[in-house]
Every structure is written in C-alpha cells, then in structure tokens.
Amino acid sequence: KQWYQRRVAITAGIEKQQGISNLTQIFIAEAMDFIKKEHEAGNPFFLYWTPDATHGPAYASTAFHGRSIRGTPYGDAVMELDHGVGVILNLLKSLDIHRDTFVFFTSDNGAATYRNAFAGNNGPFLCGKETTYEGGMREPGVAWWPGTIPSGVVTHQLGTIMDLFTTSLVLAGVKHPTDRIYDGIDLSPVLMDPGHDVIDRPVWYYRGNELMAVRVGSYKAHYWLWTEFGKDPLKFTFCPGQYVQNVTVHDQFNHTDQPVLFNIGRDPGEKYPIGPKSAEYKTAMKIISPIVADHRAKLVKGKPSLNYCDNAVQNWAPPGCEELGYCLPIPKSNPKLCYWDH
C-alpha cells in the first residue's frame, strides 16, 4: 500500500513535455530495500527489476534530465537506468553477496523505431518493435556473476528470455514440474565456461499463434513476411528509413512453401535473401525443414492468458487509492475474445 501511494503520487506528476519524473529513483530504492530485507533475513531471493522509463513517455529524474549526449528524454532515461543498475550491483558488493548472485540484463524487445529519434536505435538490424525481423526481436544480453561467469567474454550462443526461467531453476537447485514442455533451456554451462560448445537449438519467432520465422544456427527462415498495414510501398512506421524489396511488406505474405532465407551471421540486416535455387539454400533448408516439421507435430498449444479481453480487470481502484482520491470507477465486466492481427 505504501509503495502504491508513492508510485501513484509520482506517476500523476510526470512532466511528459519535459520528460521529468523521479519514478526510476523509486524503483531503485524499492530494489535496494528488497535486497537488504531479504539479506538481513538470511533468505535467498529473486528480484525481477523492470523500470519503465525508456517506454513511452520516456522520462528521467531532475538529476539526469538533459545530461545525456543524445539530449532527449530517452537518452536521459537510459543514462539513469545505467546508473540504477550500477547502484544495485554496488549494493550486492557492499553486502558481500555478489559472488553468490546471478545477474542478467536484457530487454523484452527491440527499440520502438516508430518513435524515431525519441526511442532507441537497432543499429544494423531490420525494423523494430512489433515485428519479427531482427530489429524487433534481438536484444542485448549481459550476464554477471563475479567468480563464476568470466568477464569480458562474448558468446555466440542463441538464447531467449524463456531460457532465464530454466537457467534460474537449475542454479537454484529447483526441479521444474514434468507435466509440461518448457521452451527454455539451461544456459549456465555456456555462461560459466567460455570453452563450452554452443548448444545447438532453434529459436522460434511467433506472432500470435502463427510461426513467422525460425533461427537455426546462422540461418533464419521466414515462413511469413509482414511489416505492418499501410499503403505507401516505401514507407514503414516500424522500419523508418529502411526498405528491402519483397521483405518489408504491408500485406501478409505466406512463404511456407518456400521460406525466405537469410544468413544472419553475414547479413544481420536481413537485406540479401539467399536464392532458393542456390546450393546454400537447399542445404540449409534440408536441416531447417525437419526441425520445423517436428516442432509443429509436437507443439501443444496452451490457452493464452490474454485470449480474452476485459477492461474490468485493469487496475481501476487498487488498495490505497481512496486515501489519495485517485480511485476510478470500475466498468462492468464484459470479457470477449481478443483480436490480434496475425
């Protein structure tokens, strides 16, 4: 309740035009309080720290406002986020638990390129958030565990956020239930041993229930291509300044019979499709096609938690809102099947 009151008080006061708020400082303080409390109690702990300052509208506290080289609220927000990570890592060191703590830094999607200069930049990768091109799906990943994970090492291991679930269970010595299939794998052998062989595994790119693409080794095969709805063949909100003929498209194109193939190792920007008549294409697809067929045959579809949309379940009147005079009327529940574009 106390945390909610602090959060609402600050959220209500975000200066969107200037991009100023000290909400990230509250997230930092909450993380530090949690770590100290669990450490003092002698408890192992799991902290999922997700400040939202880089999500629109971007903001930073007054101490970081206007300080970044980028000179935008987004740049300031990234600078403060970096500071926050440093504060948390320094706390682990000061408590002398850094050698017993696994830390992983990543993001949930690529930069929101549709916000242009007011968001991140995906560098050489094609498009951005809300697409299944590399710019929408590839994210930074940094593992930190002094004394266990060697520093300054880069691995070419393919990983996903789902792997963090499995990896965390293994590190904690917890066995996961065996009544279901888990998509994540244990990355700890590769993270801890730079000489360990890369784990051969596919990475699936889904949009809703549709398999859009798959990554196997250095190759990525697109079974569907779609960027976004629109009319101008050269203009894409999710891919500003980028156009690849027959790859960035407004209509949904089904390439299941002949997937569009890229070698991501030498073409991370997905600009040069490999010709389907080439020996390279045929050799790669002989490996990829059976993997996809096996995946489709064994896939057990779950029931998405977001399958039904209902405005009534949103946080209209959480505990503590009465004291702040910040409660909103809860609409009548009317669950209905959500509609998600392909």
Alpha carbon 231 to chain centroid, angstroms: 29
What average pLDDT does the chain have? 90
Q: How far apart are CA 191 and CA 145, in angstroms?
A: 10
R_g over Cα of the chain: 23
Q: How far apart are CA 73 and CA 60, in angstroms?
A: 7
- The confidence band for 306, taking pLDDT boundaries of 50, 70 and 90, is low
Tell me the per-residue pLDDT of 84-113, one tens digit each, with 9 for 90 and over: 999 999 999 999 999 999 999 999 999 999
Whether the predicted pLDDT of 32 surpasses 70: yes
Concatenated DSSP letters for 42-106?
T----------TTSSSP-B-TTTTT-SSS-SHHHHHHHHHHHHHHHHHHHHHHTT-GGG--EEEE
Whether the predicted pLDDT of 206 surpasses 50: yes
What sign does the dihedral 250-256-262-263 (CA atoms) show? positive
Q: How far apart are CA 217 and CA 242, in angstroms?
A: 25
Contacts (Cβ under 8 Å, ≥6 apart) of 196: 189, 190
7 versus 330: the higher-pLDDT residue is 330
294 burial class (0-12, 13-18, 19+ CB within 10 angstroms)?
exposed
Whether the predicted pLDDT of 300 surpasses 90: no
Q: What angle do CA 276, 282, 285 make, to 5 degrees?
A: 100
Identify the CA nearest to 54 among candidates 136, 133, 109, 132. 109
Once rounded to an integer, what is the mean pLDDT over residues 266-291? 97
pLDDT computed for residue 135 by the predictor:
96
pLDDT computed for residue 9 by the predictor:
46
Question: In the chain, what percentage of residues exceed pLDDT 90?
Answer: 65
Tell me the per-residue pLDDT of 224-263, one tens digit each, with 9 for 90 and over: 999 887 777 777 788 888 889 999 998 889 999 999 999 9
Whether the predicted pLDDT of 11 surpasses 60: no
Alpha carbon 1 to chain centroid, angstroms: 29
What sign does the dihedral 155-139-292-265 (CA atoms) show? negative
pLDDT computed for residue 5 by the predictor:
45
Whether the predicted pLDDT of 342 surpasses 70: no
- The confidence band for 341, taking pLDDT boundaries of 50, 70 and 90, is low
The amino acid at 233: P
What sign does the dihedral 55-119-144-161 (CA atoms) show? positive
Whether the predicted pLDDT of 3 surpasses 50: no
